[in-house]
Structure 1
């Protein structure tokens, strides 16, 4: 393991990082590590299967059923001929 130093970090970014760390109950350093870990892990995932991505995105909502909607018949196609 090694150390990393980030110089010239904007005060606004540092403030927002500190607030996010407090929100998650972490130190500033722990929050920065988690953000880097998350960003690098997400970039390595295979994003070729959209169904899997959608399933993962909404997995924390639990199981639920969507109501069926009444469908209307398909309308005739306009030919624009008179």
Structure 2
């Protein structure tokens, strides 16, 4: 996990953060992490798994269709590439 250091936080912002932390009964680090995550998380982001599931539902795939794929799947471990 990455480490982030923030310097020169304005006193007003630091005071507001301490108040918010106290109101929510959290540790400052946890509250800052939550706030940053919420700020950068896009409301309209498309998650790959959700998009693929929607496509499958749209074309009418059933669980049985995936069972067929599992039965023919090659389970041989992949070989690493060789650079000559």
Pair 1:39-2:53 in alignment: no
Correspondence for 2:20: 20
- Tell me the CA shift for residue 35 of structure 1: 0.4
Alignment of 1:46-65 (within 5 A): 46=44
Q: Unaligned stretches of 5+ in structure 2?
A: 46-84
Distance in 1 between the 2:43 and 2:21 partners?
25
Distance in 2 between the 1:29 and 1:21 partners?
9
Distance in 1 between the 2:21 and 2:44 partners?
29
Structural RMSD (CA): 1.5
Distance in 1 between the 2:16 and 2:7 partners?
16
Structure 1 runs of 4+ off > 4 angstroms? none
- Tell me the CA shift for residue 45 of structure 1: 1.8
- Relative contact order, higher structure (CA 8 A, sep 6+): 1
Distance in 2 between the 1:46 and 1:4 partners?
26
In terms of fraction of residues, the more helix-rich structure is 2
Distance in 2 between the 1:35 and 1:19 partners?
14
Correspondence for 2:56: none
